[in-house]
Amino acid sequence: MTSIGTGYDLSNSVFSPDGRNFQVEYAVKAVENGGTAIGIRCKDGVVLALEKLVASKLVKPGANKRIATVDRNMGVVSAGLLPDGRHFVARARDEAASWRRLYKAPIPTAALADRMGSYVQAHTLYSSVRPFGVTAILAGWDSEAEVPVDGQVGYGPASGAGGKKEGATHGGPFLYMIEPSGMYWGYYGAATGKGRQAAKSELEKLNLAAGNLTLEQGVKEAARIIYVAHEDSKDKEFELEMTWVSSLKGPTKGRHEEVPREVREEAEKWAKKSLESNGEEDEEDEEDKMEE
């Protein structure tokens, strides 16, 4: 890197003459070494998936979950430094709880993304702190039903002033990705970590903007994409961790939960099969070329 030795990377919050903040860029490097994490926004829910690299054979399989629940309807997965991810989650939980204390209702996903974006950005401003070594993906389902006030005991007026508005629509699936710079955007499909390039190109093929993908398909695709993203570091073992949040009518009833084992295993089986058949096609292509 050309920046080394110039001195502009020694303190946080210092710009280089060409307008870069090197500490933030180094934090991004830390993220690029982490296991791949992705999120897919489907029409009736959101899936989060993580390639959890097995650090040691002495660690219990399936333990040490990395995808965290923030509020009932929201989850966070991050790639990069694990302790930074933990702190990010702790802060997100605090924000969600304080929103509830103040407004007596769950925090909208967009509002949490905004607050966490501000928090992460604040860590680029002071020399006493370092930026977050994580890129976090935030998934949530904002209730499509009229949100009751926490502690509400009655129904309120049935008509007249204070009555309910007919036909109002609320909520839906939301997906945000927050980077070490504090920048956050809403996504149809988000990917970060080591295998993000492969994952991104797979996500683009899904045509998520059309909004046709169902949550069930999304789970399968998420498993497949993690397997595709893992191709480059095949020598290392990994566990697939997946969570989802669906509509109130869906399998999780608006809550963020771990994907049930049977569903996950079926998705993994499908992912491996589609990967194998893809591999065969590639081989056939090569054979064709040989013949030519």
- Least distance to other proteins, CB of residue 214, Å: 21
Closer residue to other proteins in complex, CB, 97/209? 97
What is the residue-wise DSSP string for 124-151? TT-TTS---SEEEEEEEEE-SSPPPPTT
- Which chain residues interact with other proteins by CB under 8 A? 65, 68-69, 71-72, 93, 96-97, 100-101, 104, 150-155, 255, 257-258
- Least distance to other proteins, CB of residue 131, Å: 25
Closer residue to other proteins in complex, CB, 20/86? 86
CA end-to-end span of the chain, whole Å? Answer: 44
Residue matched to tokens 């509002």: 111
- Least distance to other proteins, CB of residue 123, Å: 23
- Least distance to other proteins, CB of residue 136, Å: 16
Residue 47 bridge partners (DSSP): 40, 244
Check: CB of residue 96 under 8 Å from CB of residue 109: no
74's enclosing H/E stretch is strand 74-80
Closer residue to other proteins in complex, CB, 71/84? 71
- Least distance to other proteins, CB of residue 147, Å: 13
Under 8 Å CB-to-CB from 26, ≥6 apart: which residues? 9
Closer residue to other proteins in complex, CB, 124/243? 243
Closer residue to other proteins in complex, CB, 5/155? 155
Closer residue to other proteins in complex, CB, 43/86? 86
Tokens at residue 191, please? 């990917």
Tokens at residue 189, please? 């499909």
- Least distance to other proteins, CB of residue 283, Å: 42
- Least distance to other proteins, CB of residue 69, Å: 5
Closer residue to other proteins in complex, CB, 97/122? 97
Helix residue ranges, H only, the chain: 22-32, 82-103, 109-122, 196-205, 215-230, 261-291
- Separation of alpha carbons 27 and 132, rounded Å: 7
Check: CB of residue 88 under 8 Å from CB of residue 136: yes
- Separation of alpha carbons 250 and 247, rounded Å: 5
